[in-house]
Every structure is written in structure tokens, then in C-alpha cells.
Structure 1
Amino acid sequence: MHNQFDYMGPNMFLMFLIPLVILLVVGLSIYMINKNNNENRGDKETALDILDKRYANGEIDEEEYLKKKKILKN
């Protein structure tokens, strides 16, 4: 006597495998996008960092440095 599952065979395996692969690809894509966004966020310098470097390199004098620093902190 046969039941309804005797005829599915390999197709039954594909019914579970294809959605699993799709979920895996979507999950991996989301992970990679978030990882990339977090890495890019850490590389950005703040305006105060740039101002400090310009002062340290002698591009601006102390008066200009203090004036701009006060503006940026407000």
C-alpha cells in the first residue's frame, strides 16, 4: 500500500533546501552590509580631529585654533 509521500522522493528534499539556501543568502547579505557599514563609520575623522592635526602640522596658529575649537564645541 502506498501513501502520499511515496511519490515526492527527491522533490521533498528540494522543498526544504531551496528556502534554506535563500534564507542563508539573505542573512549573509545583511551581515556583510552591516559589517561594511560599521567599518566605514570607524574611519571617519571628526572636525575636532582634523582641526587638531592642522594645528599640530602648523597650518593654523594658536589663535585661529582656539577660535575654531570654541566654535566646534558649541
Structure 2
Amino acid sequence: MMGGWFGMMIIPIIIIGIIVFMVYKPMQNNNGKDIGGRDNSMDILSERFARGEINEDEYNHKKDLILNYKKQ
């Protein structure tokens, strides 16, 4: 129908292009947000506090900074 190697290669090329697009697009739009579009800085802060990497005073101070920054 389409003939030659072009006819056999067009479908795999389209499939590979779609896969690359689906992987690249979410990474390009990430900018500090997870795929759902939600800022994950509070999640990271909470995990650090839960692991004991920071104390309660540090947690509260950084939480206030993050929340004030989001309001701006």
C-alpha cells in the first residue's frame, strides 16, 4: 500500500513519538510541582520532620515561610 521501508516504519515512529511526548511534557511543566499540579514543598517538609531531620521549631518556621510565599 504505502510501499517500502517507509510504510513499515511510519507506525513505530508515530508510537515512539507519542511515548516521548507523554514522558517529556509532564517533566517540562513540573517546575516544583508534582504531576497533579500541587506544590509538593509541604509534603517534603512534613517528610523531613517525620524522619527527624528537622525539629518542631524548624518545621513551624519553614511551614510559615512556605505558606506566606504561596500567598504572594
Partner residue in 1 for 2:62:
68
The DSSP-based 3-state class of the residue aligned with 1:60 is coil
TM-score of the superposed pair, with normalisation by structure 2: 0.54
- The CA RMSD over aligned residues, in Å, is 2.9
Unaligned runs of 5+ in 2: 28-33
Q: Distance in 1 between matches of 2:50 and 2:25?
A: 29
1:1-51 deviations in Å (ceiling 9; x for gaps): xxxxxxxxxxxx4xx134433431321111221343368665xx9322221
| Runs of at least 4 residues off by over 6 Å | 38-41
Partner residue in 2 for 1:30:
17
TM-score of the superposed pair, with normalisation by structure 1: 0.53
1:47-74 deviations in Å (ceiling 9; x for gaps): 2222111111122111111111122232
Count how many residue pairs are aligned between Structure 1 and Structure 2: 58
- Percent sequence identity is 22
Unaligned runs of 5+ in 1: 1-12
Larger gyration radius, structure 1 or structure 2: 1
More helix by share: 1
